[in-house]
Amino acid sequence: MSVGFIGLGVMGHSMAKHLIKAGYHLNVYNRTRSKAESLIAEGAKWMDTPQELASESDYVLTIVGYPEDVEKVYLGQSGLFEGSKPGQVFVDLTTSRPSLAIELAKQGKERGVIVLDAPVSGGDLGAREGRLTAMIGGEAIGLESVRPILDCFASNIFYHGSAGAGQHAKAANQIMIAGTMTGMTETLRYAKASGLDLNKVIDTLSGGAANNWSLSNYGPRILKEDYSPGFFVKHFIKDLGIALEAAQEYKIDLPGTKLALELYQELADAGLEDAGTQALIKLWW
């Protein structure tokens, strides 16, 4: 069985590596070939275009940056659909617009291809350790077919319904993270101002009702002054924008998410769009 993988960034590279370790014949494509070299050295086969990758793969997984990148990979010249064949399953792991997921599923169906939207959560650490959470939308039969592949890097797989449902679940996930990231940075600001031992504060809060993923994983990185991207600021801005765009369609107000987006945009404007989301603390430290 051959698997095609497109998008070898902070998370994608680790995910692709898990597939090689699991014994899959892996075809890879990335805009920058240098990011694929270590995988090629481990046995992956380079493909020159998404079209070529689709024509040589039984299953295709993609994780790229923005919705416009997804459109180009699937619908563009030499894109995946140009190399597709009936019976394939394409899985987009990118956090993207629900409306685009619906369109890709529709276009795939016309070609006999099942397209699932399956955005993931867990950051660089989750990808390296193979314990991401995947949120799935699309035809359930497609999920059952591709599940063994997803199991290689996702320890939690949740099916949410028809095309676009996975993207809506991921938007809900990012809304929650927006709240925990602003809460975590305000916690550290307050604790520092009051003269507390910050390591001890993190340990204390992690053992009680205030415990959350952002505090446990990003708090220690901040104290080590490690602002490397487990998840890019620029991508979080994109995700929050998608969530607020959908909220506007539903005529609901999300003031906390709006504030988080404003703060992260301020961070990006200060030149830190390629830093990790924990760099939010740099607005005050």
> How many CA atoms, within 13 angstroms, populate the side-chain half-sphere of residue 283?
21
> How many CA atoms, within 13 angstroms, populate the side-chain half-sphere of residue 246?
21
What would the two tokens of residue 275 be? 């830093």
> How far apart, in whole angstroms, are the C-alpha atoms of residue 84 and residue 50?
10
> Which 3 state secondary structure label does DSSP give 54?
helix
Backbone angles phi, psi at 187, to 5 degrees: -60, -50
- Verify whether residue 170 is a known catalytic residue: yes
> Per the residue annotation, which of 35, 45, 170, 192 is the catalytic one?
170
SS (H, E, C) 136-197: EECCHHHHHHHHHHHCCCEEEEEEEECCCHHHHHHHHHHHHHHHHHHHHHHHHHHHHHCCCC
Residues marked as catalytic: 170
